[in-house]
Amino acid sequence: MSVNIAETLAQRALELGSKPGLIEAATGKTLSFAELNQRADAVAHILSRKGVKPGERVMLMVRPSADFICITFALFKIGAPVILIDPGMGYRNLLRCIEGVRPEVFIGIPAAHLFRWIFPKPFKSVKKCFCCGFSPGLFGKDLCRQGTGEFGAFPAFAADRDDLAAIIFTTGSTGPPKGVRYEHGIFHAQLRLIRDYYGIGPGQTDQPAFPLFALFSTALGAKAVIPDMDPTRPAQVDPAKFVDSLVQYDVSYSFGSPAIWNVIASYCSANSIKLDKLKKVLMAGAPVSGELISRMQSALCSDAKIHTPYGATESLPIVSIEGREIVEKTWPLSRIGKGTCVGRALPGITIAILPVSDRVIETFDSSACLPVNEIGEIIVKGDVVTKGYENNAEENKMAKIADGSTFWHRMGDVGYLDDDGRLWFCGRRAHRVVAKEKTYYTIPCEAIVNVHKDVFRSALVAVPAVEGQYSVPVLIVEPEKESAADRETLLAQVKMLAAESELTRDIDHFLIHPDFPVDIRHNAKIFREKLSVWAVSELEGRL
């Protein structure tokens, strides 16, 4: 049986026909489910007639829009794997990623074609190019404006679970971005999990801040609203525009990073706005505070739910928890350094905790798994867990653990399972600080000082010790922008807080940084490696 996600769109078109399937909030453009499927069919026919074949890799550089969704579905119909890279990762990383995956076909807006002209080397594998948008004859006809009437249904590629559907790049928050292989079976499993666990389907309206999630919504029969925002800068979202489209289109659920919901919650509070129709909010991409959940709950009706799914580009979603449980039960523990509770394993997902290691683990040994309430490395297996990275044998060896005919994925995170089967996140494995006397974990330590009213966030980083083998922990604070506290007073108060907890009382070095560097995709993951380099220069002569 084929597991091609494009076939589900064709089925929704038959069932829902003229009902609205996709809306661009910026333009008001609306496509019905039938029109969305027809346009995807038309693009698939055009690309196929121009020689694009199943298995050919397609680099797609198109802004979030109806065109983006139509082209992606068209490529699924053809069976041509789509390559998706965040343009906001910086042009050096972008060029390295493109060269690493060797695309054979390029589809992009005119600006992307200019980029290809300026930097031709990474695109040397490209044999066919198509333009999405008007380019006065420079890059050919607009792929999505060549009519739909003369094209019939496109026979979708009969995809097996192991057929490659996409290559999606990680944010690169702990190293160079990596291309994750998404087989059709992964998308099919994610679709089923989102439908069954979160109850997404016909009659609902989604406003996803991450464009790819509009594919899932429309495939499940839910109307998708593409918000008027730059998805590479979620913290800079215009709250008025985002909220206006939530209200105008009766959005019932919405996914976004904590950075987005922090802005939206503040805007709703300041303007006494109640989002009556919004029944589900999903926050993911970075640890979510109970304080943010409480503020967002104030903007929603009493029957609305906030979910905080946890996962990674390589495995999403794997666990989830509802906001009320966080606020009422787990957040008080998080505030005293117990980590961030991310919830219980979703159906079909298995979680285990191993001793932390920076080395390859070739085979799984169940006897090595740690008991409950003991911090270790988080590993996971299940049908939403991807099998590997593209052209990256070393990272594959490091990230996967063989277990008979199956495998486990190393999340790269540390945490523990509690007595109730809940997973607690304690930070990235690469960010732990191995000092001479003990190991410090970022999330628990940072929680101790984050309770200060003038602290926006904090970051525990490692700097090399003079003797070499171990590291020295340094706790860096980013003040609230409106804070009136002077630097010395804030530092003194932060040190006092740290001295009161056994987790942080042995830390000797504290610094203030005005604006933490963060990841592109979620604007929430702190680039601790950059802060560590900065801390070394700040502490020169004091270590």
Question: Above 80 in pLDDT, residue 88?
Answer: no
Radius of gyration in angstroms for the set of CA atoms belonging to the chain, rounded to a whole number: 24
Q: How confident is the model at residue 523 (pLDDT cuts 50, 70, 90)?
A: low
CA angle 286, 212, 424 (to 5 degrees): 25
Are 261 and 285 in contact by the 8 Å Cβ rule? The answer is no
Q: Exposed, middle or buried: residue 515 (CB in 10 Å: 0-12, 13-18, 19+)?
A: exposed
Give me the pLDDT at residue 174, please. 66
Which burial class, exposed, middle or buried, applies to 367 when counting CB atoms under 10 A from its CB (0-12, 13-18, 19+)?
exposed
CA distance 226 to 208: 7
Pair type for strands 340-345 and 422-428: antiparallel
Task: Tell me the pLDDT band of 149, cut-offs 50, 70 and 90.
Answer: low
pLDDT tens by residue, 230-239: 888 888 899 9
Q: Whole-prediction pTM value?
A: 0.94
Whether residue 147 has pLDDT greater than 80: no
> Do 341 and 423 form a contact (C-beta atoms < 8 A)?
yes
- What mean pLDDT is predicted for residues 87-112? 89
Residue with tokens 């509690």: 418
pLDDT at position 89 is 73
Q: Are strands 305-307 and 280-283 parallel, antiparallel or unpaired?
A: parallel
Which domains are assigned to the chain?
5-232 (3.40.50.12780), 233-307 (3.40.50.980), 339-425 (2.30.38.10), 432-538 (3.30.300.30)
Please give the structure tokens belonging to residue 57: 């890799």
Specify the pLDDT at position 155.
94
Beta bridge partners of 428: 413
Residue 499, pLDDT > 80, answer: yes
Q: What is the pLDDT of residue 390?
A: 93
Which band of pLDDT confidence, cut at 50, 70 and 90, is reported for residue 242? very high
First vs last C-alpha separation in the chain = 63
Count other C-beta atoms under 10 Å from residue 27's C-beta.
11
In contact, 342 and 330? CB cutoff 8 Å: no
Q: What is the pLDDT of residues 166-200, one digit of tens each?
A: 999 987 666 788 999 999 999 999 999 999 999 99
* pLDDT tens digits, 281-318: 999 988 899 999 999 999 999 999 999 999 999 999 99
pLDDT, tens only, 40-82: 999 999 999 999 999 999 999 999 999 999 999 999 999 999 9
Please give the torsion angle defined by the CA atoms of residues 177, 182, 186 and 188, in that order, rounded to the nearest 10 degrees: 120
Residue 93 pLDDT grade (very low, low, confident, very high; cuts 50, 70, 90)? confident
For 251, which DSSP code? -
- Phi first, then psi, for residue 331 (nearest 5°) are -60, -40
Average pLDDT over all residues of the chain: 93
Contact 256, 282 (CB under 8 A): yes
Cβ neighbour number for residue 537 with a 10 Å cutoff: 8
User: What CA–CA distance (Å, rounded) separates 248 from 13?
Assistant: 24
